Amino acid sequence: MEGLMIPYTAERRPDTGVSNGTLGIWLFLASEAMLFGALFSAYALLRTSATNWPVSGRAILGTGNVISMTLALFLLTTLVRRAARAASKGRQLQLLLSAGLALCFLGFKALEYYTKSAQGLLPSSSMFLALFYTLTAFHAAHVLGGLVANLWAARGVWTLDEAVTLGRIKALTLYWMFVDLVWIAILVAFYAL
Amino acid sequence: MRSDGPAHIGLRTRVLLVVLWVALISLLATPVMACPICFQVEDAQTISGVRAGVIVLMGVTVVVLTAVAAFSIRLWRNEQLNQPDA
């Protein structure tokens, strides 16, 4: 028995002008934007009305880990973008490498949480830290989701059509760019402002 | 056949019950003040905090809804272009 073929998974639909996969990822990102919008709205509310807020977030959080995490995240996105243009073998390697970088990011994040909590800097310590842990934990959960998606796309490189794989990589590129954008907003909110 | 349900309570009895109910509620009620964030707040920092939160949330919502509207217009245009001539 032949499997059910879902139309327009990779090719463009004439009415929307995009494939179903692309439309799906845009809708997903719109809902994610609302989620992070609500979190940043809470940040703006609590920060503006807080009676006690640190003068410099960098003094509390440090900058060592954050530079490594930023580099890992940006390199990861570049690799996923480049995977669209690579041959099958290189494509799978780049997807796996980017999944490895996502794992590095999560490792750095876990290390940061561990060192902060060892210093007694817990979410219950201050409003600043409560918001920091909430926003970065949500972001890290998205990095973990992207890691799983990268492995899933890498697994399908050899077994699926070229067009389907390309569609997946394009969706992943959009997703990682969104995750980068949220990370930049977090950097600005907690390290720059 | 006549059943003993609430539908057969007379109008006068119903009005009396409602009046009694309202009187009871009025007697038992205690004053309720509006949330201080929205009503006569004296802390200016809280007001500016709520204002900042609303502005951020409105900003994100406007961006997302603008994108949805732009996509809807694109769909409508595509539909117009692909319509066969009548």
Domain range holding A171?
Answer: 63-192
In a domain, A35, yes or no: no
Closest Cα in chain B to A38: B57
Contact A41, A190 (CB under 8 A): no
Q: Number of structural domains, chain A?
A: 1
In a domain, A88, yes or no: yes
pLDDT (tens digit per residue) in A107-120: 999 999 999 999 99
Domain with residue A113: its CATH number is: 1.20.120.80
Cα dihedral B15, B16, B18, B24 in deg (nearest 10): 160
Q: With a cut of 0.90, is the ipTM above it?
A: no
CB contact under 8 A, A17 and B60: no
Nearest to B67 among A15, A30, A44 (CB): A30
pLDDT (tens digit per residue) in A70-111: 999 999 999 999 988 887 778 889 999 999 999 999 999 999
Average pLDDT over every residue of B18-41: 80
Nearest to B57 among A26, A37, A49 (CB): A37
pLDDT (tens digit per residue) in B1-10: 455 555 677 8
What pTM, to 2 d.p., does this model score?
0.80
Q: Which helix (H) or strand (E) holds B66?
A: helix B44-82
In a domain, A78, yes or no: yes
CB contact under 8 A, B49 and A30: no
Nearest to B74 among A17, A44, A46 (CB): A17
Which residues in chain B are closer than 8 Å to A8, comparing Cβ atoms?
Answer: none
Q: Where are the domains of chain B?
A: 6-82
Contact A45, B48 (CB under 8 A): no
Main-chain dihedrals φ then ψ at residue B60, nearest 5 degrees? -65, -45
Q: Does B66 touch chain A (CB under 8 A)?
A: no
What is the band of A3 on the pLDDT scale with cuts at 50, 70, 90?
A: low
